[in-house]
């Protein structure tokens, strides 16, 4: 069955057997992913959070990402089952209890893209876009990047990516890779209140990263996953409890120096990466924004872009 | 692994038609660190997914080559005024010479060869230039072990750049049964254009690759070694190929070279090399070794047995039992579960 269709259009048993045989192929943005390793936890997760994504039951071509979710050893296949992502190279992944399969799956895909797919510059950042271009938001874990990404999606922006800004080496454009947005700890309830319960996956509790849930990408986000776009704004968001809303403009050199350490492959790519980053930031402004609430963060974005939010 | 796999990865045979077979081949090439070589040897269709995958692999190799060129430059700089002209070995030499075997090849460290009486000065100069004993072997036992028994100094890691340089004075451990005549090989080494760095000549490059693959170690990366040997052999002018058996004999590398020639014939169907290997060894020699190499490369049902054999053989080649047993006992006693430091990844 080499035809692309919504994952949700396949039956659970079709999906299970494709995962068992290691032939389930997920098409998203510039990448294709071959996934293997059936478990109920993964099937539950995929058929909910990935239901609108395009898949094939068997690959029609070679794939960028090969991810196998497997037990760390024979014992853990049967007794107190565990799971670990194997992207085809050695990763320092901790075996997780089988119910954390969604996390193992998402981590495995992140590792693959971050370390293998170097025909794009990967910068750890959230990206959303509208018709006038993309907003890139780069921040450390826990700085409120995912919340701001989710908030902007409610105001006319479409999702490019929550984890990676993918920048082309040949053209300094951003490429969409709209995986579900990963929400941690308190963010889960904040975003759930914002978007409604039906958009959020079941929470995986007590993971090494705390509680985790995923915000499903919308069909409108996925429909444009092949359309790259230029950047219009670079933000370094900083959520601080009780903070007064503030913006601080950065010059291009400062902005680039902050993006470089957030990239997983800048130094590997060298000169072309430098040209692509400078090309991306040409003629756009960069700001550090500090805020204590989502409302404030949206107001700051409005102020900087000069565009009224929908 | 399918019998044609090596040929397909070396670009000698077309890739399998079935998608899943292609995926398996790519996965195998990646796991065996020769996806880059495959990407350089195989021409994909334009704008295909395969082209994307190959591009990823080539970009990674290009990074390694830039790093290596820079390290060679720093090495030359560090040795200015000493009159020491180190020989760049293996991957470094292939890259510097632009050999086919270097295309797409991943390189992690720089291997050089100097004479034994230059070791002390080279080490001192490198330390002045920012290299220091690598943390992993920076303990009295390992330091002494390398210096007394090995063919190289303990690895030196650059404190800022993190790159590793291995300074050899022999091609095999001092304790190894077979001796390679490095002095003779050094005599015919040649300068890299415009540099105070040297490389082995064509024939000796091949000989060293064969020694590295079959006289040292447990053939841990058979596919990578075989593809390397094949590519070096292919580029060897007819005249040099004919010189190979005599030269191998002269420097004491007949065994590894004859096995290398046999392997090239066996895995890549190169007639000439089969003929030469037959001249060098009787048909019946090294049967078990040849079986083990084939079995480990194809990863067939008996591969674990082959691996065990090659592992034992590697230690037997490297040192006599009176050294091996205390060494392994010491390693076993200091072994701790999970003692390997986890790698830090810049990943969310």
- DSSP structure string for B194-247: TSS-EE--HHHHHHHHHHHHHTSS--SSHHHHHHHHHHHHHTS-HHHHHHHHHH
Residue A195 inside a domain? The answer is no
Whether the CB of B56 is below 8 Å from some CB of chain A: the reply is: yes
Residue A310 inside a domain? The answer is no
Q: Are A161 and A127 in contact (CB under 8 A)?
A: yes
Residues A138, A103 share a domain: no
Residues A143, A98 share a domain: no
**What digits encode the pLDDT tens for the residues B285-328?**
788 888 888 888 888 888 888 888 888 888 878 777 777 788 77
Q: Are A167 and A277 in contact (CB under 8 A)?
A: yes
**What digits encode the pLDDT tens for the residues A70-125?**
888 888 888 888 888 988 877 776 788 999 999 999 999 998 998 888 899 999 99
Residues A126, A104 share a domain: no
What is the band of B342 on the pLDDT scale with cuts at 50, 70, 90? very low
Whether the CB of A64 is below 8 Å from some CB of chain B: the reply is: yes
The ipTM is 0.90
Q: How many CA atoms lie within 13 A of B198 on its CB side?
A: 17
Rounded Cα distance, A147 and A60, in Å:
36
Task: State how far residue A52 is from chain B, nearest Cα, in angstroms.
Answer: 23
Rounded Cα distance, B201 and A157, in Å:
62
Residues A174, A44 share a domain: no
Residues A162, A48 share a domain: no
Span A214-218, average pLDDT: 94
Residues A174, A57 share a domain: no
**What digits encode the pLDDT tens for the residues B179-224?**
899 999 999 999 999 999 999 999 999 999 999 998 887 788 889 9
Rounded Cα distance, A286 and A289, in Å:
10
Residue A278 lies in domain: 120-179+217-305
Whether the CB of B275 is below 8 Å from some CB of chain A: the reply is: no
Residues A91, A129 share a domain: no
Q: Which of A32, A119, A124, A263 to mutate to test the interface with B (most CBs of B within 10 A)?
A: A119
Compare CB distances from B59 to A63, A115, A119 and report the shortest one's residue: A119
Write out the two tokens for B270: 């190169």
pLDDT at A310 over 70: no
Name, in order, each residue with C-beta under 8 angstroms of A76's C-beta and a sequence gap of 6 or more: A82, A95
Whether the CB of A208 is below 8 Å from some CB of chain B: the reply is: no
Task: State how far residue A185 is from chain B, nearest Cα, in angstroms.
Answer: 15
Span A178-201, average pLDDT: 91
pLDDT of residue B317: 80
Helices (DSSP H) in chain B: which residue ranges?
5-9, 19-31, 35-41, 49-78, 90-97, 119-128, 140-149, 182-187, 202-214, 222-234, 238-251, 254-268, 271-280, 287-298, 303-318, 321-334
Q: Which 8-state DSSP code applies to residue A193?
A: H
Span A44-48, average pLDDT: 94
Span A264-270, average pLDDT: 92
pLDDT at A33 over 80: yes
> Is beta strand A133-137 parallel, antiparallel or unpaired with respect to A231-239?
parallel
Boundary-marking domain end, from A116, A139, A168: A116
What is the band of A133 on the pLDDT scale with cuts at 50, 70, 90? very high
Rounded Cα distance, B176 and B313, in Å:
12
- Match 């704008």 to its residue by tokens: B47
Name, in order, each residue with C-beta under 8 angstroms of A206's C-beta and a sequence gap of 6 or more: none
Q: Topology of B5-333 in CATH? A: Beta Polymerase; domain 2 (3.30.460)
Boundary-marking domain end, from A116, A145, A164: A116
Name, in order, each residue with C-beta under 8 angstroms of B28's C-beta and a sequence gap of 6 or more: B1, B5, B9, B223
Residue with the bigger pLDDT between B331 and B22: it is B22
pLDDT at A179 over 60: yes
Q: Report helix, strand or coil for B46.
A: coil
Task: State how far residue A88 is from chain B, nearest Cα, in angstroms.
Answer: 7
Rounded Cα distance, A153 and A200, in Å:
14
pLDDT at B284 over 70: no
pLDDT at B346 over 50: no
CATH number for the domain harbouring residue A289: 3.90.228.20
Q: Are A296 and A245 in contact (CB under 8 A)?
A: yes
pLDDT at B282 over 80: no
Partner-chain contact A61 B19, CB within 8 Å: yes
Neighbours of A206 (CB within 10 A): 12
Q: What percent of chain B has pLDDT over 70?
A: 95
Write out the two tokens for B32: 């065996």
* Nearest alpha-carbon partner for A118 in B101, B19, B36, B23: B36
Domain count of the fold of chain A: 2
Question: Rg (Cα) of chain B, in Å, rounded?
Answer: 20
Name, in order, each residue with C-beta under 8 angstroms of B46's C-beta and a sequence gap of 6 or more: none
Residue A209 inside a domain? The answer is no
Rounded Cα distance, B43 and B45, in Å:
7
**What digits encode the pLDDT tens for the residues B110-145?**
999 999 999 999 999 999 999 999 998 899 999 998
pLDDT of residue B133: 94
Report chain B's mean pLDDT, rounded to a whole number: 89
Rounded Cα distance, B54 and B63, in Å:
14
Compare CB distances from B53 to A62, A90, A264 and report the shortest one's residue: A62
Residues A153, A111 share a domain: no
Q: Are B182 and B171 in contact (CB under 8 A)?
A: yes
pLDDT of residue B122: 97
Q: A188 phi and psi, to 5 degrees?
A: -55, -50
Residues A59, A15 share a domain: yes
Span B244-260, average pLDDT: 93
Residue A102 inside a domain? The answer is yes
What residues of chain B lie within 8 A of the CB of A269, using their CB? 59, 63
Span B247-270, average pLDDT: 92
Q: How many CA atoms lie within 13 A of B173 on its CB side?
A: 22
Rounded Cα distance, A155 and B312, in Å:
66
pLDDT of residue B290: 87
Domain ranges of chain B: 5-333
Residue A280 inside a domain? The answer is yes
pLDDT of residue A258: 93
Residues A151, A75 share a domain: no
pLDDT of residue A173: 95
What is the band of B283 on the pLDDT scale with cuts at 50, 70, 90? low
Residues A172, A286 share a domain: yes
Residues A162, A126 share a domain: yes
Whether the CB of B321 is below 8 Å from some CB of chain A: the reply is: no
Using a 10 angstrom Cβ sphere, with 0-12 exposed, 13-18 middle and 19 or more buried, the burial of residue A61 is middle
Partner-chain contact B19 A60, CB within 8 Å: yes
What residues of chain B lie within 8 A of the CB of A21, using their CB? none
Whether the CB of A95 is below 8 Å from some CB of chain B: the reply is: no
What is the band of B1 on the pLDDT scale with cuts at 50, 70, 90? low
Rounded Cα distance, A25 and A55, in Å:
5
């Amino acid at each position: 069955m080499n035809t692309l269709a919504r994952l949700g259009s396949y039956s659970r048993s079709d999906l299970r057997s494709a995962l068992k045989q290691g032939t389930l192929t997920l098409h998203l943005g510039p990448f294709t992913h071959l996934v293997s390793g059936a478990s109920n936890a993964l099937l539950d997760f995929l058929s909910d959070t990935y239901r609108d994504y395009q898949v094939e039951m068997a690959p029609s071509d070679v794939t960028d990402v090969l991810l196998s979710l497997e037990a760390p050893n024979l014992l853990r296949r049967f007794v107190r089952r565990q799971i670990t992502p194997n992207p085809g190279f050695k990763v320092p992944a901790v075996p997780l209890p089988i119910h954390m399969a969604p996390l193992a799956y998402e981590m495995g895909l992140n590792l693959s893209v971050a370390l293998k797919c170097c025909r794009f510059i990967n910068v750890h950042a959230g990206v959303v876009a509208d018709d006038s271009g993309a907003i890139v938001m780069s921040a450390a874990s826990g700085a409120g990047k995912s919340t701001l990404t989710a908030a902007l999606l409610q105001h006319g922006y479409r999702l490019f990516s929550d984890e990676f800004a993918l920048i082309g080496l040949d053209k300094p454009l951003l490429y969409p890779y709209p995986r579900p947005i990963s929400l941690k700890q308190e963010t889960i309830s904040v975003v759930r209140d914002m978007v409604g319960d039906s958009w959020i996956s079941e929470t995986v509790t007590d993971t090494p990263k705390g509680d985790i849930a995923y915000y499903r990408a919308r069909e409108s986000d996925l429909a444009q996953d092949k359309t790259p776009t230029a950047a219009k704004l670079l933000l370094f968001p900083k959520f601080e409890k009780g903070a007064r809303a503030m913006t601080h403009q950065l010059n291009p050199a400062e902005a680039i120096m902050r993006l470089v350490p957030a990239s997983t492959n800048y130094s590997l790519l060298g000169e072309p990466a430098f040209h692509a980053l400078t090309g991306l930031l040409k003629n756009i402004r960069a700001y550090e924004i500090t805020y204590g609430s989502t409302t404030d963060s949206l107001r700051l974005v409005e102020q900087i872009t000069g565009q009224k939010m929908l | 692994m399918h019998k044609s796999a090596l040929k397909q990865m070396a670009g000698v045979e077309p890739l399998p038609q079935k998608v899943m077979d292609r995926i398996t081949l790519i996965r195998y090439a990646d796991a065996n660190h020769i996806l880059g070589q495959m990407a350089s040897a195989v021409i994909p269709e334009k704008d295909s997914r395969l082209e994307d995958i190959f591009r990823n692999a080539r970009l990674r190799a290009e990074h390694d080559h830039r790093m290596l060129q820079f390290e060679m430059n720093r090495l030359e700089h560090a040795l200015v005024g000493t009159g020491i002209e180190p020989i760049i070995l293996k991957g470094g030499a292939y890259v510097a010479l632009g050999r086919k075997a270097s295309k797409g090849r991943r390189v992690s460290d720089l291997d050089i060869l100097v004479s034994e009486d230059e070791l002390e000065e080279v080490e001192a100069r490198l330390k002045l230039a920012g290299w220091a004993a690598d943390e992993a072997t920076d303990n009295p036992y390992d330091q002494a072990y390398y210096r007394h028994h090995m063919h190289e100094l303990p690895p030196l890691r650059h404190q800022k750049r993190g790159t590793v340089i291995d300074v050899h004075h022999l091609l095999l451990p001092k304790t190894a049964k077979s001796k390679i005549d490095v002095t003779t090989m050094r005599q015919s080494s040649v300068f890299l254009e415009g540099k105070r760095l040297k490389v082995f000549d064509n024939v000796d490059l091949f000989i060293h690759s064969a020694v590295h693959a079959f006289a040292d170690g447990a053939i841990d990366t058979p596919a990578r070694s075989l593809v390397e040997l094949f590519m070096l052999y292919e580029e060897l002018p007819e005249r040099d190929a004919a010189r190979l058996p005599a030269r191998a004999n002269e420097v004491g590398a007949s065994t590894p070279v004859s096995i290398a020639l046999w392997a090239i014939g066996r895995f890549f169907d190169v007639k000439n090399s089969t003929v030469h290997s037959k001249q060098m060894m009787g048909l019946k020699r090294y049967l078990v070794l040849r079986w083990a190499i084939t079995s480990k490369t194809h990863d067939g049902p008996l591969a674990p047995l082959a691996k065990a054999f090659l592992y034992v053989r590697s230690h037997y080649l490297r040192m006599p039992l009176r050294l091996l047993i205390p060494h392994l006992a010491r390693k076993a006693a200091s072994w701790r579960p999970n003692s390997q430091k986890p790698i830090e990844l810049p990943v969310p």
